């Protein structure tokens, strides 16, 4: 779907339809608590464990909804996307559930374990240079050659609607929350979260967590206009993407606030989640707890929902390990 598609094309009814479409295909993920982390923050925290979703990330929801939204005449030619990892794996598995081809354009330097997962789910991998422009050009070339339908990682309305099922499911279990926070990269998850939350729990404040080294969404919202391409500098490989146009429009309309976090703070939060919750999460997921810990004075005594977006990490290159000599 093109970036020019209006933000109004995604609403809560689309999220409800997505929930029905992916029912029985995507997991209903658990919500966990930690008394010790509550004590550190001075608030009540609920963790939505999308790291336990199929392919290890929330991305399967959006990819599955997009794949099963396609008319048969389009689906038979397959799907194509560009991805540094989780969306590519999600689209590959979603395509496999419908027995159609999947093509994934992967930038050089992507996390090895994520690329291996894309291949394991049966996608045809196409390599490209590590830039947004190169990714988009390569995906378009594959689309023209194969006739595959583009399933954009975050600007496709069907993807956004699918990601919105996380918050729908979350709030159904917890009831109204004071705060709901999710990571932001391209913006698919946080947009779906904001739309679902506004419909289900309008009193909930929706926040986004973003790396300081890739803070284009924060800057765009502050400036009132989407910034141009940038060179990311963050360990959060899933959040290195420029926020999409449709995503920026939704975030602006929904009044979402962005909190920026340094990588050192994210790594510390990642380690804390591993230690206290016994959950394998990646930096792009741990950033939500890092943001709450950084601004804990704002959240005292509140009910806070945190979306742990994924758990795909290279176990041979954990960020707190000494590099091999």
Closest CA to 168 of 11, 41, 38: 11
Q: How far apart are CA 86 and CA 180, in angstroms?
A: 22
DSSP state of 106: E
Q: Listing from the earlier edge strand, what are the strands of the sheet with 44-49?
A: 31-32, 44-49, 303-308, 179-183, 205-211, 257-261
- CATH fold label, 60-150: Rossmann fold (3.40.50)
Strands 44-49 vs 31-32: parallel, antiparallel or unpaired = antiparallel
Q: Are domains 7-58+156-308 and 60-150 of this chain identical in fold?
A: yes
With 80 as the cut, is the pLDDT of residue 1 above it? Answer: no
Residue 165 CB partners (closer than 8 Å, separation 6+) = 15, 18, 19, 22, 26, 61, 65, 192, 196
- Beta carbons of 157 and 246 less than 8 angstroms apart: yes
Please state the rounded mean pLDDT for residues 217-234: 93
- Beta carbons of 240 and 215 less than 8 angstroms apart: no
Q: What's the CATH architecture for 7-58+156-308?
A: 3-Layer(aba) Sandwich (3.40)
Closest CA to 208 of 224, 226, 230, 186: 186
Look up tokens 């009132």; give the residue: 224
The pLDDT tens digits of the residues spanning 271-313 come to: 999 999 999 999 999 999 999 999 999 999 999 999 999 999 8
The pLDDT tens digits of the residues spanning 92-146 come to: 999 999 999 999 999 888 878 888 989 999 999 999 998 878 989 999 999 999 9
Domain edges within the chain: 7-58+156-308, 60-150
The pLDDT tens digits of the residues spanning 32-84 come to: 999 999 999 999 999 999 999 999 999 999 999 999 999 999 999 999 999 87
């Amino acid at each position: 779907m093109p970036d020019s598609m209006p933000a109004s094309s995604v609403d809560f009814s689309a999220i409800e339809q997505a929930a029905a479409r992916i029912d029985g295909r995507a997991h209903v993920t658990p919500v966990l608590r930690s008394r010790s982390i509550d004590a550190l923050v001075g608030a009540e925290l609920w963790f939505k464990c999308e790291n336990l979703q199929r392919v290890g990330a929330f991305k399967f929801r959006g990819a599955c909804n997009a794949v099963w939204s396609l008319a048969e005449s389009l689906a038979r030619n397959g799907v194509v996307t560009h991805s540094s990892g989780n969306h590519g794996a999600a689209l590959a598995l979603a395509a496999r559930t419908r027995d159609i081809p999947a093509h994934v354009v992967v930038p050089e330097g992507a996390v090895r374990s994520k690329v291996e997962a894309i291949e394991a789910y049966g996608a045809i991998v196409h390599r490209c240079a590590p830039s947004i422009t190169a990714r988009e050009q390569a995906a378009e070339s594959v689309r023209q050659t194969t006739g595959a339908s583009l399933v954009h990682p975050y600007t496709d309305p069907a993807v956004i609607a699918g990601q919105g099922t996380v918050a729908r499911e979350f709030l159904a279990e917890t009831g109204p929350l004071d705060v709901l926070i999710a990571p932001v990269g391209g913006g698919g998850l946080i947009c779906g979260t904001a739309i679902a939350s506004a419909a289900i729990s309008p009193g909930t404040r929706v926040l986004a967590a973003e790396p300081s080294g890739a803070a284009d969404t924060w800057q765009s919202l502050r400036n009132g206009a989407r910034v141009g391409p940038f060179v990311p500098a963050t360990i959060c490989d899933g959040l290195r993407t420029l926020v999409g146009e449709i995503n920026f429009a939704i975030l602006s309309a929904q009044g979402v606030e962005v909190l920026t976090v340094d990588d050192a703070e994210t790594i510390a939060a990642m380690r804390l989640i591993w230690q206290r919750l016994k959950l394998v999460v990646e930096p792009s997921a741990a950033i939500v707890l890092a943001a709450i810990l950084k601004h804990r004075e704002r959240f005292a005594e509140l009910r806070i929902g945190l979306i742990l977006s994924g758990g795909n990490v290279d176990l041979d290159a954990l960020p707190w390990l000494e590099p091999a000599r």
